[in-house]
């Protein structure tokens, strides 16, 4: 069974048993770290583990795993661009949920910058920017949030993937 299939299986078979999913993910991560030289595989498992911790509302551990994912993705370089975006998003969300708004904003902005650097994946950029916009608006910075909303609207207009037969 491939790592991707195993991740899908773990995720889908442990929906109502996140602690079991966590144990399976930790076991898979240990195996990947010893048997697979490809760092993107390890990062994928780490990002799934981060999401699992979030699902269990273990926010401090979620933040720690998000930070480990960011460090690993940065160490992997350009080949881990999407993994870095996912990791930054995990880290930012954890910090947001923990009330660390300055850090959350900084990491979500970094996620936006990296997302915009992948022109072929505008939905990823839109998702990153939309999360930032909602936080900024929640924090009472309406003028800034309105500018971000305009940027989001422009990205939505630019996204022509469906016209090109890509969904």
Per DSSP, the three-state class of 98 is: coil
Q: What angle do CA 12, 17, 19 make, to 5 degrees?
A: 110
What is the total count of domains within the chain? Answer: 1
Domain with 47, as residue range(s), is 3-158
Residue at 101 is within a domain: yes
Asked if residues 22 and 56 have their Cβ atoms less than 8 Å apart, the reply is: yes
Residue at 143 is within a domain: yes
Could you give the CA distance from residue 19 to residue 162 in angstroms, rounded to a whole number? 39
- How many other CB atoms sit within 10 Å of the CB of residue 110? 18
CATH of the domain at 102: 1.25.40.10
Residue at 48 is within a domain: yes
Q: Is 138 exposed, middle or buried (0-12, 13-18, 19+ CB in 10 A)?
A: exposed
Residue at 165 is within a domain: no
pTM, two decimal places: 0.86
| Alpha helices for 37-160 (secondary structure H) | 39-55, 59-76, 81-97, 101-116, 122-138, 142-158
One pLDDT digit (tens) per residue for the chain, 167 residues: 788 888 888 888 877 888 999 999 999 999 999 988 777 788 989 999 999 999 999 999 999 999 999 999 998 876 668 889 999 999 999 999 999 999 999 999 999 999 988 877 888 899 999 999 999 999 999 999 999 999 999 999 887 655 555 54
Residue at 105 is within a domain: yes
- Kindly state the greatest CA–CA separation across the chain: 51
Q: How far apart are the first and last CA of the chain?
A: 27
């Amino acid at each position: 069974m491939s790592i991707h299939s195993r991740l899908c299986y773990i995720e889908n078979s442990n929906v109502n048993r996140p602690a079991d999913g966590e144990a399976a993910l930790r076991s898979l991560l240990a195996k990947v770290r010893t048997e697979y030289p490809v760092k993107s595989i390890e990062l994928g498992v780490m990002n799934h583990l981060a999401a699992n911790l979030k699902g269990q509302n273990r926010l401090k551990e979620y933040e720690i795993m998000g930070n480990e994912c960011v460090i690993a993705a940065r160490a992997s370089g350009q080949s881990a661009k999407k993994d870095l975006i996912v990791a930054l998003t995990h880290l930012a969300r954890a910090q947001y949920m923990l009330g660390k708004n300055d850090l959350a904003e900084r990491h979500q902005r970094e996620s936006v910058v990296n997302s915009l650097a992948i022109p072929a994946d505008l939905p990823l950029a839109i998702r990153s920017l939309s999360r930032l916009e909602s936080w900024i608006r929640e924090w009472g910075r309406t003028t800034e949030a309105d500018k971000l909303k305009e940027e989001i609207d422009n990205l939505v207009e630019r996204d022509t993937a469906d016209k090109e037969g890509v969904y």
